[in-house]
Amino acid sequence: MKNIPELLSPAGSLDKLKIAILYGADAVYCGGQKFGLRTASDNFTEAELREGVLFAHERNSKVYVVLNGFLHDEDLEELPSFLRLLEEIKVDAVIVSDLGVIETVKNNCNVPVHLSTQASCLNTESARFWKSKGVERVVLGREVTLKEAKKIKEEADIEVEVFVHGSMCMAYSGNCTISNYTQGRDSNRGGCAHSCRFEYSIDYKGGAQTKSTFMSSKDLEGVALLPEFVHSGVDSIKVEGRMKGPHYAGTITKIYADALKELSLEGEISKESLAYYDSELMKVTHRDYSSASLGAPAGADSIYNEREHDEKEYEVSGVVADLVEGEFILLEVRHAFYVGDELELLPFKGKSQPFRASSVLNFIGEVREKTKPGELVKIPWISGAEKLNLVRRRLAL
Amino acid sequence: MKGITYLTNATELKFLKENLIDQVIIEPISLSRLGKLSIDEVNALAKDASENGIKTYLEWDILMVEDNFISSLEEFKKIDLTYISALRVQDPGALLWCLENTDLDIHLNLETGNHNLRGINSWLDTNRSRITRIILSIEWSQQQLKDLLPKVDCEVEFLGMGRILLFYTPRYLLKSGLSESEAALEMKDTNHWIEASGQSEESPHKGFPLLENKHGTFMFLPSDHCLLDHHKELTDLGIKHLRIDNRFMDESLERVVYQFLKSPLEESFDRIKELSPQRLIRGFFNTNKSDVLFKKLKNHRIQRIDENYLGQILEVNKKNYLALKLKNPVRHLTCGAKLRLITPDGKEKKLEVQRLQDCQGTDLETATGEDLVFINHVGGISVKAAVYFDEI
C-alpha cells in the first residue's frame, strides 16, 4: 500500500527518544529546556539534543523540536540563539504555534516550520492562512475528522499531521487558561495543571445536580482506523505523550509501527493482528480509549467519567542497560519484581517474549530475591534481547 | 477611549445611545460563541442600529472544523452586510475568507495567546488596510502593554469588564451528564442553552460558571475581569476601545457601568462592585508572573550543563560501587580521573576513579560513548547524580 504516513512519536527525554526510534518511530518530537508546553518533562539540554539528532539521523529518523508555547516578548529574546543551534545540529523541523515565533524562526534559520496543534488549525482556509505565513506542515486540531483532514490536505496543498494516539485536551488546544487563573501557571507556556481531570460537582440552573469528571477526555486510539489514515493521505500520524514513561514510548510506537508495516506489506490489517494490537494497547496505562473525532465529532462517549488512578495492567520492570550475549542481561530496574516473576521482553521486532526471571544477581554477584527501582540486576540471557529493550510485568489486578 | 458592548435586542438601542455607546457587537447564533440572534434578527438589529447612528460589528468568533466552516459560510451569506461596519473574527480561516470575499473592515480577535509584538505585526501584515482593530488578551500586563502599544500601528480593544473565559470545547459536556428528561428541562427556554456552575474539591475556586450551547461548552472564572477603575491608565496606554461585556449583567449594573465611563467617580465604582454578580478582579493587569513557578516543576540540578559533563549515576551500592552511565560521546574516562558528582538535592562530592569495570567485572583501561561502567563507591551519592570531570 502506498502513502504510508510517517509515524511520529514523543520523546520526553533522550532515553525515550532512543527507545521510540528503536521501536520503529520514523520521527520523534522533543523539547529543549524552554519554549515548549511540557515544562515539567525532562526535556533536552543542548548536548542531549545534539546526541539525539545524531542518533536519529543514523537510523534514518527525523527529529522535530517543539517551540509551541505562546511566547511573550521577553521569551522571544532568547530564541534566536537556540534556533541557530537547532539549525547547526540539523534538526528536521520546529513545531510552532505562535506567529511571533514563526517570524523569529524565519528570520534566524532555515529550519522548516510545522504548525502545532496548539494553534487549532481546523479548516482549509486556516491551513491556507498558515501556509501563507511560511508553515510547511499543519498539525491539525484533534477536533478534525479524517475526512476533513483529507480535504484540507488536498485543497490547501500542505503537509498534514494528525494525532492517532494519546491523551486529549478537552478544550480546543490553546483555548484553555484554567491553570493561568486558578494556579498562576500559564498553560500555554508549559504550566498546565490538568484541572480538566478534576472531579466537579455541577449545579444546573434548572435544578439538576451531578458530580463527574465532565471535562476529562478519554484517550485517543486509532490503530483500527489506520487504513483510513492512509486513505486520507495525511503525511504524518502523531502519538501524544512526552510526559509519559519509556514503556509508553516503546510499546505504543511498536504497535503503530508494526501495524503500519503490515498495512504497507499486506494492504490491510488482519483481524488477528488487530486483536493483538488492541491487547498490547491495553497493557499501557490509559484512560479508556476512544476514536474521539477521527470518524465523526466526539460525542458523550468520549468523556472519561473516572478520576485519574494508577491502576494498570502492566508496568515496566526495567530497561536493558547492557548485556553479554548468551550469558546475561543487565536490567536497570524501574519497578520492583521478585525472582521467579513472569516477565515479558519487548523486542524491537516481533512479538513480546514471556520469560521467568529464574535468577537475579546484582553486579557483584549477590543474590537478589526482590529488586528495587534504581538498581542494576543481572537476569539470565533471553535470545534476541538488545540494549534499551523494555521488560515488563503483568500486575495482579 | 470609547466603550463597546453587545446588542441583543432593539429595546437596548435607546439605552445605549443615551449612554453614549456608539458601537455594538451583534452575535448571530450560528456564528458567535454566545450568540442568541437569528439571521433575521441580526439583519433587523443592524439596520436599526445604523439608523440610530450606532456602528454595528458582526461577531464571527467560533472556531470551525471544515464541515462547520462550510455550514457557517452558508449562514454568513444570509447576512445583509449593508449595515455592518466590521467583521470580528478569531479563526484564521474566517480571517482569510473575509479578507478575500468581503471588503469590510476586520476586527481581529487576538485574545487567545498572541503575547508578542512580532506576532501581532505578522497578523497585521496579512492586510494592514483591512485589519483596523485588534482585540488583545487580558493576560497582557500594564507594563507589557506600555511597551507594546506605541509600536502597534492599529487600534486596540481590551476587555474593560466582563466574564473571563477559561475553556472552550466543541463537545457537549453538560447535556451528557443529564438524563433525556433532565436535559429537556434544562434546555426548555432556548434552543440548546444550558447554564450551570461547577466546583471541585481539588480547586480552591468555587462556582465556575458553565454554559453549553450549539457551539460546545464554555467555562468561566468565578470572578469577573474589571479594569474600569484603571480607565485613565488604559487611555494613557493608548487603548482606543474598552469592551463592556454586558451579556451577563443586569440593566441596573450596566447603567452604573456606563455612568462610570462617562464620569469615573469612586462612589459609582463602589456601586459597580456591589451590583456585580461575581467578585471583580484585575487579572494579570498589574503583573503577569504565570511562568515563575516553572523552575519548581522539575529538578534542574540533574541536568547536564557543560562540556565537562560525563554522565549519570544509575545505581549506588553502598561501600561497593557506583554504576555510571556515560553520556559524553567525546570524552574518555580512565582510571585516575577526578570527578565531581552533584546529587539531585544539590550536594556535591568529589571522587578519584580507582576502579573502572564493565558489566562483567572486567577491568577497563578506558571507557567512552554510551558505556555503562562500574567505579569505586563514594559516600553521600544518590541515583541520578550528575557526574562531571573535575576540571577548571
Say whether both B66 and B136 belong to one domain: yes
SS3 category, B3 = strand
Say whether both A223 and A326 belong to one domain: no
Is pLDDT above 90 for B118?
yes
**Is A233 in contact with A147 (CB distance < 8 Å)?**
no
Cell numbers at B350, concatenated:
568529589
Say whether both A213 and A332 belong to one domain: no
Which pLDDT tens digit goes with each residue over B233-253?
999 999 999 999 999 999 999
**Nearest CB to B166; choose among A127, A181, A323:** A181
A169/A219 Cα distance (integer angstroms): 9
A191/A233 Cα distance (integer angstroms): 34
DSSP letter, residue A5 = P
B148: closest CA among A310, A74, A370, A249?
A: A74
A376 touches chain B (CB under 8 A): yes
**Is A377 in contact with A320 (CB distance < 8 Å)?**
no
Cell numbers at A27, concatenated:
520521527
Say whether both B278 and B344 belong to one domain: no
**Is B102 in contact with B130 (CB distance < 8 Å)?**
no
**Nearest CB to B119; choose among A39, A103, A178:** A103
Say whether both B119 and B188 belong to one domain: yes
Beta bridge partner(s), residue A346: A390
Q: Which DSSP string corresponds to B22-39?
A: -EEEE-BTTTSTT--B-H
Assigned domain for A1 exists: no
Say whether both B317 and B354 belong to one domain: yes
Say whether both A121 and A215 belong to one domain: yes
Residues of A in contact with B147 (CB under 8 A): 73
Say whether both B278 and B217 belong to one domain: yes
DSSP letter, residue A350 = S
**Is B73 in contact with B97 (CB distance < 8 Å)?**
yes
Final residue belonging to a domain, choices B291, B311, B335: B291
Relative to beta strand A159-166, strand A236-239 is parallel
B217: closest CA among A74, A172, A111, A294?
A: A172
> How many other CB atoms are found less than 10 A from the CB of residue B138?
21
CA angle at residue B141 from B139 to B145, to 5 degrees? 110
Say whether both B321 and B253 belong to one domain: no
> How many other CB atoms are found less than 10 A from the CB of residue B379?
9
> How many other CB atoms are found less than 10 A from the CB of residue A376?
23
Low-confidence ranges of chain A (pLDDT < 50): none
A48/A13 Cα distance (integer angstroms): 8
**Nearest CB to B66; choose among A148, A212, A375:** A148
Residue with cell 477603575: B229
Residues of A in contact with B219 (CB under 8 A): 178, 215
In angstroms, the separation between the Cα of residue B114 and the nearest Cα of chain A is 7
Most B CBs within 10 Å: which of A143, A154, A242, as the mutation test of the B interface? A143
A312/A288 Cα distance (integer angstroms): 11
Is pLDDT above 90 for B345?
no
Assigned domain for A260 exists: yes
Count: domains in chain B: 2
**Is A25 in contact with A64 (CB distance < 8 Å)?**
no
Assigned domain for A186 exists: no
Which residue does chain B place closest to A48, by CA atoms? B304
Final residue belonging to a domain, choices A281, A302, A323: A302
> What pLDDT, on a 0 to 100 scale, did the predictor assign at position A196?
86
Say whether both A216 and A323 belong to one domain: no
> For all residues of chain B together, what is the average pLDDT?
92
Q: What are phi and psi of A165, to 5 degrees?
A: -155, 145
SS3 category, A205 = coil
A330 touches chain B (CB under 8 A): yes
Strand (E) or helix (H) holding A192: none
Say whether both A92 and A204 belong to one domain: yes
DSSP letter, residue B78 = T
> How many other CB atoms are found less than 10 A from the CB of residue B243?
18
Say whether both A78 and A125 belong to one domain: yes
In angstroms, the separation between the Cα of residue B14 and the nearest Cα of chain A is 31
CATH code of the domain covering residue A361 = 2.40.30.10
Q: Report ipTM (2 d.p.).
A: 0.91
**Is B33 in contact with B62 (CB distance < 8 Å)?**
yes
B221/B211 Cα distance (integer angstroms): 12
A198: closest CA among B200, B172, B175, B167?
A: B200
Distances (CA, A) of B142 to A360, B234, B286: 63, 8, 6
Is pLDDT above 80 for B307?
no
Say whether both A370 and A288 belong to one domain: no
Say whether both A87 and A208 belong to one domain: yes
Say whether both B364 and B231 belong to one domain: no
> What pLDDT, on a 0 to 100 scale, did the predictor assign at position B187?
80
SS3 category, A391 = strand
Residues 6+ apart with CB under 8 A from B181: none
Q: What is the CA radius of gyration of chain A?
A: 22
Residues of B in contact with A185 (CB under 8 A): 290-291, 293-294
Say whether both B218 and B164 belong to one domain: yes
Q: Give the pLDDT band (50/70/90) at residue B304.
A: low
Which residue does chain A place closest to B187, by CA atoms? A206
Residue count of chain B, please give it: 392
SS3 category, A256 = helix
Which residue does chain B place closest to A363, by CA atoms? B359
Say whether both A273 and A367 belong to one domain: no
Final residue belonging to a domain, choices A277, A302, A327: A302
A100 touches chain B (CB under 8 A): yes
In angstroms, the separation between the Cα of residue B67 and the nearest Cα of chain A is 7
Q: Which domain holds residue A106?
A: 6-170+196-302
> What pLDDT, on a 0 to 100 scale, did the predictor assign at position B301?
57
In total, the C-beta contacts within 8 angstroms joining chain A to chain B are 305
B327 touches chain A (CB under 8 A): yes
Distances (CA, A) of A252 to A166, A262, B202: 9, 15, 31
Final residue belonging to a domain, choices B244, B270, B291: B291
Say whether both B63 and B135 belong to one domain: yes
**Is B348 in contact with B370 (CB distance < 8 Å)?**
no
Question: Exposed (0-12), middle (13-18) or buried (19+): which is B67, by Cβ within 10 Å?
Answer: middle
Residues of B in contact with A189 (CB under 8 A): 290-291, 294
CATH code of the domain covering residue B38 = 3.20.20.70
Helices (H), chain A: 14-22, 46-58, 73-76, 79-88, 99-108, 124-132, 146-156, 178-182, 226-232, 246-266, 271-281
Say whether both B127 and B212 belong to one domain: yes
> What pLDDT, on a 0 to 100 scale, did the predictor assign at position A311?
58
Say whether both A232 and A354 belong to one domain: no
Question: Exposed (0-12), middle (13-18) or buried (19+): which is A60, by Cβ within 10 Å?
Answer: exposed
| Range B53-59 average pLDDT | 97
Which pLDDT tens digit goes with each residue over B257-292?
999 988 888 888 999 999 999 999 998 898 887 776
Is pLDDT above 80 for B220?
yes
Cell numbers at A382, concatenated:
533471553
CATH code of the domain covering residue A207 = 3.20.20.70
Q: Where are the beta strands (DSSP E) in A277-373?
A: 289-290, 314-324, 328-333, 342-346, 353-356, 361-362
B200 touches chain A (CB under 8 A): yes
CA A44 to chain centre: 16
CA angle at residue B89 from B83 to B93, to 5 degrees? 120
Query: pLDDT exceeding 90 applies to what percent of chain B?
Result: 77
Q: What are phi and psi of B375, to 5 degrees?
A: -125, 170
**Is A225 in contact with A149 (CB distance < 8 Å)?**
no
Which pLDDT tens digit goes with each residue over B18-48?
899 999 999 999 999 999 999 999 999 999 9
Relative to beta strand A314-324, strand A328-333 is antiparallel
Say whether both B258 and B365 belong to one domain: no
A133 touches chain B (CB under 8 A): yes
Count: domains in chain A: 2
Cell numbers at A237, concatenated:
500520524
Say whether both A286 and A383 belong to one domain: no
Residues of B in contact with A376 (CB under 8 A): 314-315, 323, 359, 372
Assigned domain for A158 exists: yes
Assigned domain for A190 exists: no
A81: closest CA among A53, A45, A108?
A: A108
Pick the most confident of A81-95, A275-289, B172-186, B201-215: A81-95
> What pLDDT, on a 0 to 100 scale, did the predictor assign at position B224?
97
Residues of A in contact with B33 (CB under 8 A): none
A344/A337 Cα distance (integer angstroms): 12
Is pLDDT above 60 for B296?
no
> How many other CB atoms are found less than 10 A from the CB of residue A389?
23
CATH code of the domain covering residue B317 = 2.40.30.10
Question: Is B173 within 8 Å of A201 when comparing Cβ atoms?
Answer: no
**Is A126 in contact with A153 (CB distance < 8 Å)?**
no
SS3 category, B374 = strand
Say whether both B67 and B143 belong to one domain: yes
Say whether both A321 and A282 belong to one domain: no
Q: Which domain holds residue B338?
A: 300-389
Final residue belonging to a domain, choices B245, B264, B291: B291
**Nearest CB to B291; choose among A101, A189, A201:** A189
> What pLDDT, on a 0 to 100 scale, did the predictor assign at position A190?
73
**Is A353 in contact with A381 (CB distance < 8 Å)?**
no
